[in-house]
Structure 1
C-alpha cells in the first residue's frame, strides 16, 4: 500500500480524462505524491467498488479513507498547491452544499449517462 493520495477515475470518459489528465500532469511536474488510477485498467477490488459504481463519480483515497464526489475533489485540491484556494472556497458550508447538490444531481448523472451511451450499455438505475 502507499501513503499517496489515490484518485480513481474513468480514463475512457472524455470529460473525466480531460480534467484528471490536467491534474495528473500538474502533479507529476511538481512531484506531488498523488497516484491516478484508471478504473478500466487498475484493480477495483482494492477500492471495493464495482466498475459501474466507479464509473458514476470521482473517488479519492487518502489516509485509508475513501471520499467520493465533491468531498473527493476537495481532498484532491487540498493536496495540490495550485488548487488550495478552490478547496477552501468549495469547503465553505453554503458552497459545499450547492456544489454537492449540483454534482450529485446534475453533473455526475449526466456524465454517467453519456458514459453508458458511449459504451453501448443501459442502466435501469438512476
Structure 2
C-alpha cells in the first residue's frame, strides 16, 4: 500500500472537514487508494509534524514525499479523476503562483486563526 496517498487534515475545522469530507466520500465511493487522517487522532510521528504545525495547512504524503499547501492539493486532485482538471489548472505557472500566494498568505493563516479561536473557546468552556 506504499502507493496510497495519505491526507492529513484538521477534522475539527469546519472549513477543512467540509472540503476533505467531500473528497473522502468521493474517494470511498470510487475505491481510490487515498487515506484521510484527522490530525487530532493521527499518529503524528508518521508525519514528522506537531499537531499545531499540521493545523496550519493541508499535508499530503505520496510515494514517500510530503507536500503541503497548494502542492498538496495538486497531488490529491491528480489522484482523483473528477478533479484532475483542477490539478492541471492550478499547475499552470501563473495560476499556481497566485493560488499559492492566496493560500499561504490569506486562506491558511485565516483558517488557522479560526482554529486557535475554537481551541480557546472550548478550553474556557471546559
What SS does the aligned partner of 2:110 have?
Answer: helix
Aligned to 1:45: 45
Deviations 1:61-120 (A, max 9, x none): 000000000000000000000000000000000000000000000000000000000000
CA contact (8 A) 2:2 2:63 kept: no
Matches within 5 A, 1:4-15: 4-15=4-15
- Unpaired segments ≥5 residues, structure 2: 122-126
Aligned to 2:25: 25
Matches within 5 A, 1:71-82: 71-82=71-82
Question: Greater share of helix residues, 1 or 2?
Answer: 2
Instruction: Give the TM-score normalised by the residue count of structure 2.
Output: 0.94
Cα distance in 2, alignment partners of residues 15 and 80 from structure 1: 20
2:91 maps to 1:103: no
Instruction: Give the TM-score normalised by the residue count of structure 1.
Output: 0.94
Aligned to 1:124: none
Cα distance in 1, alignment partners of residues 88 and 11 from structure 2: 27
Cα distance in 1, alignment partners of residues 102 and 73 from structure 2: 13
Aligned to 1:69: 69
Runs of 4+ in 1 over 2 A off after TM superposition: none
What SS does the aligned partner of 2:48 have?
Answer: coil
